[in-house]
Chains A and B, each alone.
Chain A
């Protein structure tokens, strides 16, 4: 969620620390911060709110409370204008319990207009377009408090009655973005006495849309079932900021303060006469108390925090609590739906005190030396094939055909492999082309991996060369090829585990084609063994990508013939024959000048 630094500042009397410091605090005590971006004289923090805190932190208020706890800064009291009770004709009827609370309030004789500059600026800063003062106010309060709001044009309703009910088969609604949606009885709607007006918690419809001529409005502040809202949003394929908040579940308690805030804001931006609130709220959630002891917290953390340390956390988070001899009774704030048991409070303690206060304690593990049968078989098979000269490859599980198909994929390959052989053959083909680069005589490879058939999955092994690839189940290979006399425990014998191997560095390969030349030369028997190697290395230039490879050697009387392979490749271009010919000529000239005979 995009959080405006200036917006956040409005929550505090004290000057906030710089945005970078705020971000750092949030990262180590609350959430990941994906990005910090300067927008005009504001700074926007893009904060990644995960589902556990989407109940209370998809809002500037939620983040302000975190900042308050992290930096021990006091949040200003909220002072929304209180309106005198005023008679209202508004009627609200909830026909389905997917609606947990519905607050409605009529405001008459408002003036729909452009929003003031400060409001446009705030919304722009977090990437929201300004529409008019009413819509903008509703948006602003949602991003401020986390509670979605909707406004209807009262005069476009059949009567002054709103009904929260399920849709009917054959019924349709046109949404504000001009999409026609077919309704059914799983879709909760807000309706007047004739037509649906909005998809509950998802999007408004055109019938009662607030426009520039609107005079009288109904403000909706409501709470809907998270699961059904999510299902419907998926069904009609509409994702909105309101859906995001409802599907993660927000407390119906949030409605009251939101109604106060939005009424205050609409009144100050658009004037009007404010009527009394109609509030249908039958199942008020019970107050939640969690009891937790310091011992429990310290036992799970492996820490020795004092009662005072722990109390400081409750205080910073503004938790009301009572302290007993051995435990705390915490009254869970209504919006913190993530806090359901004492284990949740352990997290609150350590994240606020700071994970850097957690020691590293290596535990002792009693081991009865159980080995996993299938894993150790895999290790033995692997070791056997490596020893037999096969190199190990890994290929993709996803391919163009097979017996098991995935429903949807980000790639075009939608099937799971039903054999390893196909992949291995491709790999052999590829590697044969690179033989000079690989400094191998032939290509022998294997793969151990899972294959998927109609009957399920199985670990296979496939191995082979350019002539032949053999594939069978790991189990079968093991029975056939691994003698029971061999030691069964082959933990990988990697001598350089740990810091000795730290300095090995991978060399990326060039994407350009290589050229290789074989050169055979007669030299007198008495010639230093490295002479040719050194000449090739020197005259081969930087384009010589591999050390010269001796591919053949034989002796005739007092002369020895050495055949070397020289592989040339550039990291930034395709080589042309001519430049390699030039290099080879200079090598030949040098060899001839030394009296060697190029064959």
Chain B
């Protein structure tokens, strides 16, 4: 009980920082973007046109009095912002970025769902970056975070901004757990950002980090993370 005791870290923050560390050690660079995002970067640039059922795939918070703003529903918007800037600067791929960030979904909360949560966006574009590379990177990451005794598998899925799109599951402590979505960046997303999709290709992923936290520490309820309750800071 000494006066100069170090403060206690928030477990989610520990997960985020560990995540960033694993990826930056691999060579990924950190990128950030706004939480209050415009509709273009959150949807249109990601192949989710207005009045298309794909917009219903995520429950979105729209902003009163601002028809062109939303609380970002995913960190994929950071991909767009990064690539736009990158292309404008005249640089050429490869590039690899990682973007941890808070995202928002307008849905009822329960032990496994929150209205606000963290995603870690990854994006790697180059001349030969493949889906096998995606599998390699994700597998490496989860082994680092949860131990060598984990297995990764892909299942087909759909996101408007990747093709092919997949969901990936992780086998951890004998159980398959759904972890998140990923895929090869859709050529038209690259083109919209000014990157030649005939020459360059690559992958993107965006799993949630609360999921990783509750699995790693066997937590019963993700909502405890946002109550400002120090009983949560146990490690």
Main secondary structure of the interface of B (DSSP, over half): mixed
Tell me how many residue pairs across A and B have CB atoms closer than 8 Å: 290
1/0 contact trace for B72-106 toward A, CB 8 Å? 00000000000000000000001010000010101
When distances are taken between beta carbons in the complex, the residues of chain B under 8 Å from A430 are 227-229
Contact indicator B29/A370 (Cβ below 8 Å): yes
Contact indicator A371/B30 (Cβ below 8 Å): yes
When distances are taken between beta carbons in the complex, the residues of chain A under 8 Å from B187 are 341, 343
1/0 contact trace for A353-396 toward B, CB 8 Å? 00110111111111100111011100100100111111111111
Most central of A343, A396, A439 by chain B CB within 10 Å = A343
Bound CA span A415–B189, Å: 32
Within 8 Å by CB of B7, from A51, A386, A407, A424, lies A386
Contact indicator A457/B36 (Cβ below 8 Å): yes
What total of chain B residues lie within 8 Å of the partner, measured CB to CB? 102
Contact indicator B230/A391 (Cβ below 8 Å): yes
A271 within 8 A of B: no
Distance in angstroms from A129 CB to nearest chain B CB is 25
A216 within 8 A of B: no
Bound CA span A457–B146, Å: 34
When distances are taken between beta carbons in the complex, the residues of chain A under 8 Å from B133 are 302, 361-363
A213 within 8 A of B: no
CB-contacts of B7-59 with A (<8 A): 7-14, 17-18, 20-22, 24, 26-32, 34-36, 51-54, 57, 59
Residue of A nearest to B213 (CB): A506
- Given that A341-B187, A365-B94, A374-B32 are contacting pairs, would A439 and B1 also be in contact in the complex, using a CB cutoff of 8 Å? yes
Residue of B nearest to A409 (CB): B106
- Given that A410-B107, A440-B1, A499-B147 are contacting pairs, would A355 and B156 also be in contact in the complex, using a CB cutoff of 8 Å? yes
Bound CA span A439–B233, Å: 12
CB-contacts of A216-234 with B (<8 A): 227, 230-231
When distances are taken between beta carbons in the complex, the residues of chain B under 8 Å from A554 are none
1/0 contact trace for A433-447 toward B, CB 8 Å? 010011111011111
Most central of B30, B102, B137, B217 by chain A CB within 10 Å = B30
Contact indicator B115/A491 (Cβ below 8 Å): no
Within 8 Å by CB of A397, from B5, B22, B104, lies B104
Distance in angstroms from B166 CB to nearest chain A CB is 7
A52 within 8 A of B: yes
Contact indicator A407/B61 (Cβ below 8 Å): yes
Bound CA span A370–B24, Å: 10
List 30 contacting pairs A-B, 8 Å CB cutoff, sorted by A.
Answer: A30-B156, A31-B156, A230-B51, A248-B53, A300-B131, A346-B163, A350-B131, A362-B133, A372-B30, A375-B20, A386-B7, A389-B3, A392-B8, A392-B10, A393-B229, A394-B225, A396-B226, A397-B35, A406-B62, A406-B106, A410-B107, A431-B229, A437-B231, A438-B230, A440-B1, A441-B1, A450-B35, A497-B18, A497-B145, A509-B231
